[in-house]
Amino acid sequence: MLSRPTRTAADCQRLLTETFDQILRTRMSGIPVVNPALTVSAENLTEWHDDIIGVLITPWFMNLMLLPATKKRADEFASYKVGSKHTLSFPSGSYEFTLGGEDRIGHYLSCSLFSPMFDFADQQTAEDTASAVFAGLMNSDNREILEAEPLTQADEPANSETNDEQAANPADSTTDEPQHQEAQVYSRRQLLRGLRG
């Protein structure tokens, strides 16, 4: 069973790092998409309402990660279908997340930022980018930028969702949201990618 009791940001940081480091050494062993210059790390994890939000860096992807912090939220996550899409609001706007799960972590929501990770020459660059992305996520000024100059859905890279979560949990990617709202969600994710230094 994947639902878990109340936990802190430190708990989530440890669980993410240990779980995906194990995935790196097992499921991802010998897979050419892995960037050997990088390691697994969970950055900027912080409480957000009844959840924990942060950025997960692995040698094959960088994602925003949202984990339930309370038993009630964990049970709510467990009621969703793995692979289902959920639009969440932050100070900078709305972003589309996908439900995934690992036995040790439980269910979580992720938003793909970078995959694969070969554009990152070293771990420090990846961590600096993660910090910039998280700051941008929580910056309400970015909402004004998007309202003034919205990007289009066509700006979304075709392979942006390529990561281990999808490989382990293939699922239907359809959504019931109107097309113009979907384009806005993709645009905000593209803005976060653009914050890379």
All structural domains of the chain: 9-193 (3.30.1460.40)
Angstrom distances, CA of residue 190 to CA of 43, 53, 60? 20, 19, 19
- Convert the pLDDT of each residue in 138-147 to its tens digit: 998 877 665 5
Position 145 scores a pLDDT of: 61
Which of 8-17, 33-42, 53-62, 162-171 is predicted with the least confidence, judged by mean pLDDT?
Answer: 162-171
Q: Is the pLDDT of residue 34 over 50?
A: yes
The DSSP letter of residue 156 is S
Closest-CA residue to 165 (of 44, 83, 85, 42): 83
Q: Are 34 and 59 in contact (CB under 8 A)?
A: yes
Which of 26-30, 38-42, 49-53, 173-177 is predicted with the least confidence, judged by mean pLDDT?
Answer: 173-177
- Convert the pLDDT of each residue in 41-99 to its tens digit: 999 999 999 999 999 999 999 999 999 999 999 999 999 999 999 999 999 988 999 99
CB-hemisphere CA count at 13 Å for 37?
Answer: 12
Instruction: Give the Cα separation of 22 and 28 in Å (integer).
Output: 9
Position 141 scores a pLDDT of: 86
Q: Is the pLDDT of residue 127 over 90?
A: yes
- Convert the pLDDT of each residue in 37-50 to its tens digit: 999 999 999 999 99
Sign of CA dihedral 43, 155, 143, 69: negative
Which of 119-123, 133-137, 165-169 is predicted with the least confidence, judged by mean pLDDT?
Answer: 165-169
Q: Is the pLDDT of residue 164 over 60?
A: no
Collapsed DSSP state (helix, strand, coil) of residue 87: strand
Position 159 scores a pLDDT of: 37
- Pick 191 or 32 by higher pLDDT: 32
Q: Is the pLDDT of residue 155 over 90?
A: no
The pTM for the full model equals 0.78
- Pick 190 or 2 by higher pLDDT: 190
